[in-house]
Amino acid sequence: MTQKQIEASILGQNYRLACSPETETILVNAVARVDSEMSKIRAGSNVRGTDRIAVMAALSIASELLKLQQSIRHGEAFPADEIRRTMHQMNEQLAAVLVQNEAR
């Protein structure tokens, strides 16, 4: 797998990150999300120190992830892959019914 280097800036600190070409967009979006959360915490609180801001941002993002996972488990939200798989199955069933009706 080919690795690619990207430059990223989080809270004014530059980082060089390695990723595959397939995951570059996701990584760039993750960097933007982390930078946004850290900037929001720095601007909206009296938390000082990059390490403390990073921990607070990590906790905030982890909390969002856990809430989303819980809502998926309780059927309140569905992952896109599951929706695609269900739609594919429904389309196959519909096609089978149509073929059956055409044969009559």
- From 65, 86, 68, select the one nearest 77 (Cα to Cα): 68
C-alpha to C-alpha distance for 104 and 96, rounded to whole angstroms: 13
Query: What is each CA distance from 92 to 82, 89, 96, 97, 98, in whole angstroms?
Result: 15, 5, 6, 9, 10
Q: What is the DSSP string of 38-89?
A: HHHHHHHS---SHHHHHHHHHHHHHHHHHHHHHHHHTTSS--HHHHHHHHHH
The predicted pLDDT at position 9 comes to: 95
pLDDT, mean of each 10-residue run, the chain (104 residues): 90 94 94 95 91 94 91 74 84 84 71
The predicted pLDDT at position 104 comes to: 62
Q: Scanning the structure block, which residue is given the tokens 């990059």?
A: 50
User: In degrees, to the nearest 5, what angle opens at C-alpha 44 toward C-alphas 27 and 13?
Assistant: 40
The predicted pLDDT at position 27 comes to: 94
